[in-house]
Amino acid sequence: MTLHNYRAICANGVLVREGKRCMECVSMGPLRGILHGCYRNSRVASASVIGYQQHLRRAIRSSVDVLIYTSAASENLLKPLFPGVPSSLIPNYVPDVGLGTSNIHQSTEGYYLVLGRLTEEKGIGELLSIWPPGFRLVIAGEGPQREVLKLMAESLDVDFLGYVDLDKRNELLRGALGLILPSVTLEADPLVVSEALSAGTPCIVNSGTASAALSSTSPSVIPYESGGELRVALERLLHEDLKDSARWLYEETWSAGAWTSRYMSLVEEVLRGKTV
């Protein structure tokens, strides 16, 4: 069984409450989710989800041979829930977007990209509050926060594209100076980061996300906490070619070959264990 989110420990599955990361159910127990009405702003609905969580955990402990985590961050958070259950870390397989041209020495039309649903947990509002002047940001996606975000961005060089189809999405990823992941939520193994890396596009990620740990593996992933750190990262991508590094990280982590090798090795281990 693969755990793709945090539903086993959080009523809303994203570890966010009132626009901020929340770990109360991790440190204080699941009743906090009911108290705050974290699922659809309803204590009754949250109680139902908490009940499902208890059932899910029991089922995993009794019936799952191996749990698969998709990132070190999700493994560190969720593994204590399942003592004694064997596990493996296997990032998702992510289709190859295809390499774009070099991002270095582009004209003033060069842009940084945010790609995703415009919701509170994605952290776009916080990003806009520290976005420095002189840098162009393109935001592609729809969601309930769109009008609020547009008001925040009135004095900034920000373009809102709304919904884009797959071809346009991939074109934007290949052409960007860098992808920005400003998520408030921890994320597990965000698709958009690995897609960008497959295009040779480096990523600037909120230091509180699971993707931030990738910075120890490759210079193509740059974490930030403050507006100052964000500006340094943006300027760095104007002058440093990280395309090869980004592509290498994708090939080693999310490519079809990498995923198949890890998954088949795990399957063989499980089968050998069953036949002994």
Which domains are delineated in the chain?
2-89 (no CATH), 112-253 (3.40.50.2000)
pLDDT in tens, 1-23: 999 989 889 988 888 888 888 99
User: How confident is the prediction for the chain on average, in pLDDT?
Assistant: 92
- 50: which residues sit within 8 A by CB, 6+ positions away? 11, 30, 31, 33, 34
Report the pLDDT averaged over residues 251-268.
96
Sheet (strand 112-115) strand order: 158-162, 137-140, 112-115, 178-181, 203-206, 221-224
Report the pLDDT averaged over residues 39-58.
91
**What is the model's pLDDT at position 14?**
87
Residue 276 has pLDDT above 70, yes or no: no
pLDDT in tens, 82-128: 999 999 999 999 999 998 765 544 444 699 999 999 999 999 999 99
**What is the model's pLDDT at position 211?**
96
pLDDT in tens, 201-250: 999 999 989 999 999 999 999 999 999 999 999 999 999 999 999 999 99
Report the pLDDT averaged over residues 74-88.
93
Instruction: State both tokens at 160.
Output: 């809102």
How far is residue 214's CA from residue 246's CA, in Å, rounded to a whole number? 11
How far is residue 250's CA from residue 63's CA, in Å, rounded to a whole number? 33
**What is the model's pLDDT at position 266?**
94
Q: Identify the band that residue 275 occupies on the pLDDT scale cut at 50, 70 and 90.
A: very low
Q: What angle do CA 197, 203, 204 make, to 5 degrees?
A: 170
Q: Which of 114, 123, 167 is nearest to 141 (CA)?
A: 114
How far is residue 201's CA from residue 114's CA, in Å, rounded to a whole number? 12
Q: Are 72 and 210 a contacting pair, CB within 8 Å?
A: yes
- Percent of the chain whose pLDDT exceeds 70: 96
**What is the model's pLDDT at position 107?**
44
Instruction: State both tokens at 222.
Output: 């740059």
Could you tell me the end-to-end alpha-carbon distance of the chain, in angstroms, rounded to an integer? 22
**What is the model's pLDDT at position 274?**
59
pLDDT in tens, 126-138: 999 999 999 999 9
DSSP character for 214?
G
**What is the model's pLDDT at position 19?**
81
Q: What angle do CA 93, 99, 101 make, to 5 degrees?
A: 155
- 234: which residues sit within 8 A by CB, 6+ positions away? 112, 132, 135, 177, 178, 204
